[in-house]
Structure 1
């Protein structure tokens, strides 16, 4: 690099040299076999070696989604795509686009928790008191709270409860989690919906926020958790022998009205 010129990129993530690949400064040869995939993933994203409890929680997080089956649009998209383009890469790419505000991704929930928690910390009110007024403002503005509700589970989402149990056991449960739980209680009371659950995505976002991950990083980790299931679905589809899988007409409703083109052209001034 010539003197006085700036680097194209500056990265602290890794460095490839003739003798080894360095991950956050640590030689890969010393990491592989010493730390599990979950701990090295934490190191790569957060930039530091996790505590044993954080590593175990990370392992749980990477096992927390795995597969939504055909209930997830990303899985359906992946299988449809590989029926015409039988490629694992094509299927995985299609599935990634199915993660967003309403499915898989905890990013919006993570952002909500981070921003609302900062507002609480800047206030002088108690947690439950502030949560009640905060929820009242949200409802008055007709804003939704991400991470609440599920089409099947009522009262308790067993997946979320399992995540909470492990986070508390591993020492990664903290004030950010308690804040989000207070918002959940306040919303249940204000909406008079005692059975409204905090779903797995909401719980996941709260734990990841407490562990210091950014909302965008949360999405990446959630997607990473879905990969084993997606690989299985895509492989099954590629081996099925079905080509160009389409939705049959019996599964769709169509507008059967007919229109007169000459009349429309005349009306439009043709």
Structure 2
């Protein structure tokens, strides 16, 4: 290490008094010219998305903002705000609920799509090898509430199809995800249609985002809903609200 400044190394930001450069662009040139979605892309990848790429990415971010107050992340935000913490603490508590089961399906779906693309086998064999390794629950398919269709998925796939027709993306991952959905409809007594995680995973995979970023981008998207619900609960009031009304008791087993 030649100098203490080498302790942290970054290609994201360079600055000195009176100057801030983000990925080589003066911040004043970005302000008012880049959308928030385009800024996210620039920060993560270092280049500028095309207008069509940004539009597709933004569609995925818009689609995932909320899942209702029964979703663990949203419920956590609302409960936390009634405990007297600030919005930032409520949001942090909620984001920390986005784990492998609630929040991780998009990342897992991207990995599964890549597996089906790269396995060098027919898709049925490749899917079975994924199930043998990861278990029978397929990330991105099925929904406990939205039956028989998650209304967000068809619209997102429509946008992917339009983007593929215009040469923005290849459509390879959309084709794989649609095949999985059709395969499940043919082989299971209860179909498991694609859900929001499966559809946004298609978009992130088509745009070339690594699988962990699919979860990170979902966290950004869901943070909008978390903030809105925490703020709404703040306006409604309430003190120390738990997951159920106080007249409801838990089951005690000695």
TM-score range with shorter-chain normalisation? 0.7 to 0.9
Aligned pairs, number: 247
Offset of residue 160 of structure 1: 0.7
Q: Distance in 1 between matches of 2:111 and 2:17?
A: 41
1:188 aligns with 2:185: yes
Offset of residue 138 of structure 1: 4.7
Q: TM-score, normalised by structure 2?
A: 0.86
Larger of the two Rg values belongs to structure:
1
Offset of residue 90 of structure 1: 0.9
What residue number does 1:165 align with? 158
Is the partner of 2:21 in helix, strand or coil? Answer: strand
Partner deviation per Cα, 1:90-125 (whole Å, 9 max, x = no partner): 100111022123323412222222233221xxx2x5
CA RMSD of aligned residues (A): 2.4
Is the partner of 1:34 in helix, strand or coil? Answer: coil
Offset of residue 155 of structure 1: 4.4
Is the partner of 1:251 in helix, strand or coil? Answer: coil
Q: Distance in 1 between matches of 2:117 and 2:72?
A: 31
Q: Distance in 2 between matches of 1:191 and 1:6?
A: 58
Cα distance 1:212–1:242, how it changes in 2: closer, same or farther (>3 A)? same
Is the partner of 2:78 in helix, strand or coil? Answer: helix
Is the partner of 1:69 in helix, strand or coil? Answer: coil
Structure 1 stretches of 4+ with a deviation exceeding 6 A read none
1:148 aligns with 2:144: no
Q: Distance in 2 between matches of 1:233 and 1:205?
A: 25
Q: Indicate conservation of the 8 Å contact 2:160/2:174, yes or no.
A: no
Offset of residue 6 of structure 1: 8.6
Is the partner of 1:95 in helix, strand or coil? Answer: helix
Q: TM-score, normalised by structure 1?
A: 0.82
Q: Distance in 2 between matches of 1:80 and 1:6?
A: 42
Q: Distance in 1 between matches of 2:219 and 2:60?
A: 11
Q: Distance in 1 between matches of 2:223 and 2:24?
A: 27
Offset of residue 225 of structure 1: 1.2
5+ residue gaps, structure 2, are: none
Q: Distance in 2 between matches of 1:197 and 1:255?
A: 38
The within-5 A match list for 1:92-131 is 92-105=91-104, 106-119=106-119, 123=120, 130-131=122-123
What residue number does 1:251 align with? 248
Cα distance 1:153–1:238, how it changes in 2: closer, same or farther (>3 A)? closer
